[in-house]
Amino acid sequence: MNLDALFKISHGLYVTGARDTQDRLIGSCIDAVMVIETSPAQIMISLEKNSFTCENVLISQKLSLSVLPVDTPDDVIRNFGMQSSKITDKWKNVPYHLYQNLPVLDQAPAYMTLVITQRIETATHWVLLCDVQAVEPGSMAPALIYADYQNRKRKENKMTESKKWVCTVCGYVYDGEVPFEELPDDWTCPLCGEPKSVFVQE
Ligand code: FE
């Protein structure tokens, strides 16, 4: 079994917004969102069980959902996805406005508020069936597709990995098939003949 295959089922990336029991604004980044039907409008989402946002959404029974635009900066995704609302006010780091008294991202191509009607517990998540209480199209930007985001990240990682090795004596740039690190110790610069040790990564 290769679970990577599941990423070929495409979906987007979204930011949830809600209020905790002290009325503070909270939220998280999620990918599992599905429009079940449009009349009446119903959406299914999945929230990580042990997240602070999930804990509070199960109490308040309502949340907002902002669709992320294609050009969403990585720090916005990290802001909502890599830290807990329990200790950080995530909304203070992004442009947002209140919609139906819940926070939504200013740049979202669409945003909505949801009211939970049913829920299913899995090993790690709560799957929530929600009525769409209100929904608006936002910016004209296309929505970010999760698979495209992953490909973008993969490309960026590859670019940082493939830094060039340059000879500090003559400026020769190594571009051989074999990764520079795997060249034998007695390998020398083909231009000036200096040893491997004079090369630096740029
Ligand atoms: Fe050289």
DSSP annotation of 163 reads: P
Q: Is the pTM of this model over 0.85?
A: no
Structure-block tokens of residue 198: 């004079």
Buried/exposed 34-44: b ≥16 CB within 10 Å, e otherwise: eeeeeeebbbb
DSSP annotation of 122 reads: -
* CA 177–ligand 1 middle distance (angstroms): 18
What are the strands, taking DSSP E only, across the chain?
A: 14-19, 25-30, 33-38, 41-48, 62-67, 96-99, 102-105, 110-121, 125-137, 165-167, 173-174, 199-201
pLDDT at 160: 67
* CA 184–ligand 1 middle distance (angstroms): 16
* CA 174–ligand 1 middle distance (angstroms): 9
Q: Are 112 and 135 in contact (CB under 8 A)?
A: yes
* CA 11–ligand 1 middle distance (angstroms): 49
For 112, half-sphere exposure in the C-beta direction (CA atoms, 13 angstrom radius) is 19
pLDDT at 10: 82
Cα dihedral across residues 67, 70, 72, 74: positive or negative = positive
H-state helical runs in the chain? 52-60, 74-81, 146-161
Q: Is the peptide bond before 95 cis (omega within 30 degrees of 0)?
A: no
* CA 188–ligand 1 middle distance (angstroms): 8
* CA 157–ligand 1 middle distance (angstroms): 28
29-to-12, 51, 119, 169 alpha-carbon distances in Å: 11, 11, 19, 49
pLDDT by residue for the chain (202 residues), tens only, comes to 988 888 788 889 999 999 999 999 999 999 999 999 999 999 999 999 999 999 999 999 999 999 999 999 989 999 999 889 888 999 999 999 999 999 999 999 999 999 999 999 999 999 999 999 999 999 999 999 988 888 888 888 777 676 789 999 999 998 877 888 888 889 999 999 999 999 998 8
* CA 190–ligand 1 middle distance (angstroms): 7
